[in-house]
């Protein structure tokens, strides 16, 4: 005989298909992004076709680069016997934690062919003396 509590594990919840819907929707609205680095700098590239510079906010704070913006694209085509309209609207926000050697104060950005490029130069890390002798005082 199977107890009632065992049935709960066999039947999926009615809400299971929607459990991760919010995250999937956010991923769909977020622009495609690539992050890379070389010896001199880190580069974050984000596809933003049709998004104007005025609709993008770029902030570097506490070692985190945050890119916010809003897609407001609208395409409309008309013919003699047909009509087509495609719209994409929605806000997006992406944040990237910078590595310790990134110099966020010198970050720069440029938009080219619908792709935003954020460049964060690397800085030389201070060498820290990790060992030292500590004398014990006598009381």
Residue-wise pLDDT for 76-122, tens only, equals: 777 777 776 666 677 889 999 999 999 999 999 999 999 999 999 99
What class does CATH assign to 28-121? mainly beta
| pTM of this prediction exceeds 0.85 | no
Q: Does residue 9 register a pLDDT over 70?
A: no
pLDDT of 2 reads 47
pLDDT category of residue 11 using cuts at 50, 70 and 90: low
Average pLDDT over residues 55-66: 94
> 77 with 69: CB under 8 angstroms?
no
Give pLDDT, residue 81.
77
DSSP symbol at 122? B
């Amino acid at each position: 005989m199977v107890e009632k509590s065992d049935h709960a594990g066999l039947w999926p919840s009615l809400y299971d298909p929607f459990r991760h819907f919010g995250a999937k929707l956010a991923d769909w609205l977020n622009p495609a992004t690539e992050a890379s680095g070389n010896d001199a700098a880190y580069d974050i590239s984000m596809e933003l076709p049709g998004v104007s510079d005025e609709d993008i906010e770029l902030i570097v704070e506490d070692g985190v680069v945050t890119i916010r913006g809003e897609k407001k694209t609208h395409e409309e085509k008309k013919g003699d016997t047909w009509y087509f309209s495609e719209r994409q609207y929605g806000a997006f926000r992406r944040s990237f934690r910078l590595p310790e050697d990134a110099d966020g104060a010198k970050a720069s950005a440029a938009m080219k062919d619908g792709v935003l490029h954020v460049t964060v130069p690397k800085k030389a890390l201070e060498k820290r003396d990790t060992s030292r002798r500590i004398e014990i005082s006598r009381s």
